Structure 1
Amino acid sequence: MASDRGRKSTIYDIATSTGTSPATVSMVLNGTWQRYRISEATAARVLGAARDIGYTTNMKARGLRLARSGLAGMIMPHYRNRFFAGLSETFEAGARARGFCPMVVSTQRQPETEREVVERLLSHQVEFLFIVGVARPEPLNDLCHAAGIPCVNIDLPGANAPSVVSDNRGGARMLTDVLLDKIAAADRGTGGTAGEEIHFLGGVAGEYATEERVAGFREALAARGLPLRDDRIHPCGYSPPVARRAAEDLCRRLGGMPAGLFVNSITAFEGAVQFFQSLDRAAFHGRFIGCFDWDPFAAFLPFPVTMLRQNVEAMIEQGFAYIEQYRPDEFPMTRIPPRFGPVAGDVRNA
């Protein structure tokens, strides 16, 4: 049963020796390979390799795995904004409509907690798992594959499972275009160049969603021949207190509000608004704000804001489609276009 130096052989050893994936090996050893359309020849090759290297499955665990639990799992960062709360509610409704009992757990973006929660959900025999908002979901995908459990990444993609994300780049370009149109209309007849004074606030440098939104922001500016210096991008994270300080520092450096401000998320927007409350209403005259997220309470702000609403219903529905048509060796990604959300006081959102 042991391989080199007494180490117990694993499904990864079998995958390497047969030229298959750990997910395929897991499906074959769990006896669920036919359900996922793995060929009989591949299954025979995997089983032969398992015998050759002395790998044996835990039959008691295998029996538990083949029993249906009726549980559907989801992990997510938190419930503090409408995007994540909407994903959770839509997932729960979709799971119940399909005859499953949903289990949703928040992890506060802590990798150690994410892994611990996934291991616990797998031990409870969830039949599939939605992994939401995890920056590096591949280790969690591997845990699911090893347990023979289908999984899908939502919001942030991974290389080891199907993924469903917002069209961050296309949505950012849409939102930037609206802000630039408003700035141009305000400048018309004045000879102003305020379109060059638009800034991007929030998000994490190097993170998929942020980088895609910055790319869309840059594309919109480039299409109009407007320059964009790196000092117009402020990836201050998602924390409202940090975003508040970043917005305050920006306005202090500029001597007032920029002509346009693209805020990367509703949590960063929350922090920016905390600072905006200290400004006179006149500070927003001829200034335009957009947010890549949506909350209906923005309708009660003393200034108009253009907001994009991520289509959580379509994202979750596509996630279920991937689970229901699961292929252990196929990892497609679907981008779901966001939509402008209705916000009072902003004719673009009407």
Structure 2
Amino acid sequence: MTNTKQTIYDIAKKAGVSASTVGSALNGTWKSRRISETTVDRIRAIADELNYSVNLQARALRSAKSGLVGMILPQHDNRFFSSIGQCFSNETRAREALPVIVSAKRERDQEIEAVRGLINSSVDALMLVGISEPDLLSEMCQKAKVPHVFVDQPCSQAPSVVSENKGGAQRLLEVLLNDSNAKDLSDVVFLGGDANLPATEQRVRGFKQALKKRGHRTSKSQVLACGYQRAAARDALEKLYHKRKSLPSVLLINSIGCFEGALEFLVQLPTEEVDDCAIGSFDYDPFGRLLHHPVPMMRQRAEEMVKRAYLHLDQDDTDPQITHIEPELILPNR
């Protein structure tokens, strides 16, 4: 007995609908045709029963689109980047396309390999998040005529969507200064991040601006841009503590990874010592609100950033421009 490959006409006959209705149910365009969800569910169930699979390659040739949208981000195990990835996935699927997400660890060679691979897979567009070589990757996309937009990292050759990092850091430090008993502003410290990357560079600017408004000029020793790794932040804070024999009166921690690293050291100290230090985080972790010690946090608005990035793609924007998204200040429960 030979198995005959099923077609949409077989599904249509069994479902009691037209072949075009089956096509719309299976390719995701059923909403625009006002086909009921009940009918779509019935058609898809029959398609599964008949082991029917959509020929995506043939569809791509007919539509001149693959239905794939790519995203490259530094890592998955970071709350902000995982939020960006989830929002991207939700928004892409809502547009009846398939999200493809690749982690490149902010390493140049991996970023190039990822962009090349996604271009070869005929993605319809690319979102590039926290990239180390934005101009180079933009040139690759332009050469391949792939629409693209940058998120969390400005690019001089394409549209970019970033958090308002300078203003956010300034607001956060002002809250910490108002909540602290700091009399000596040289006892205020910025911890974490890479000073060579725009996000950290702008947050350091905001940190300095808040101190400048109070008549203080920030010294180099007040900015510990030790990178984004937990261990690096933990070690930098421990070294500072042993050098000073105490914590600073105010500590602004840059990124959740660094915040977690700082906590690894802080839990070793007496509670009263930690309570004497006003601590804030530029990045948000909901579990931070459960800490005994109150920690104001800046939450980057991942969903809004992805929507704005998609707006650039929808409008076929190619000119370099930066859209700033104001982060949300989350104050602890008192």
Deviations 1:196-236 (A, max 9, x none): 31100111122111110010001000111123211111110
SS in 1 for 2:296: strand
In structure 1, the residue matched to 2:9 is none
Summarize the Cα distance change of 1:83–1:119 in structure 2 as closer, same or farther, 3 Å threshold.
Answer: same
AA paired with 2:320?
A: F
Question: CA separation in 1, counterparts of 2:206 and 2:216?
Answer: 14
1:64: how far off?
6.4
In structure 1, the residue matched to 2:14 is none
Does 2:273 correspond to 1:283? yes
Question: CA separation in 2, counterparts of 1:161 and 1:72?
Answer: 17
Deviations 1:128-166 (A, max 9, x none): 000001122111111111111100000011111100000
In structure 2, the residue matched to 1:107 is 104
AA paired with 1:146?
A: K
AA paired with 1:173?
A: Q
Question: CA separation in 2, counterparts of 1:219 and 1:333?
Answer: 21
Gaps of 5+ in 1: 1-62, 188-192
In structure 2, the residue matched to 1:255 is 245
AA paired with 1:331?
A: P
Question: CA separation in 2, counterparts of 1:115 and 1:66?
Answer: 28
AA paired with 2:116?
A: E
Aligned residues: percent identity? 39
Runs of 4+ in 1 over 2 A off after TM superposition: 63-66, 299-302, 341-344
Describe how 1:1-350 pairs up with structure 2 within 5 A: 67-183=64-180, 186=181, 193-328=183-318, 330-341=319-330, 343-344=332-333, 347=334
Question: CA separation in 2, counterparts of 1:263 and 1:317?
Answer: 27
TM-score by length of 2: 0.79
Kindly report the root-mean-square deviation, in angstroms, between the aligned alpha carbons of the 2 structures: 1.6
SS in 2 for 1:256: coil
Question: CA separation in 1, counterparts of 2:260 and 2:170?
Answer: 22
The question of whether the paired residues in 1 share the 8 Å contact of 2:164 and 2:325 is answered with yes
AA paired with 1:168?
A: N
Question: CA separation in 2, counterparts of 1:159 and 1:226?
Answer: 33
TM-score by length of 1: 0.76
Summarize the Cα distance change of 1:149–1:65 in structure 2 as closer, same or farther, 3 Å threshold.
Answer: farther
The question of whether the paired residues in 2 share the 8 Å contact of 1:176 and 1:220 is answered with yes
The question of whether the paired residues in 1 share the 8 Å contact of 2:84 and 2:306 is answered with yes
Gaps of 5+ in 2: 1-59
Question: CA separation in 1, counterparts of 2:323 and 2:171?
Answer: 19
The question of whether the paired residues in 2 share the 8 Å contact of 1:296 and 1:342 is answered with no
1:66: how far off?
7.6
Question: CA separation in 1, counterparts of 2:62 and 2:213?
Answer: 54
Question: CA separation in 2, counterparts of 1:338 and 1:126?
Answer: 30
SS in 2 for 1:305: coil
The question of whether the paired residues in 2 share the 8 Å contact of 1:71 and 1:103 is answered with yes
State the number of aligned residues: 275
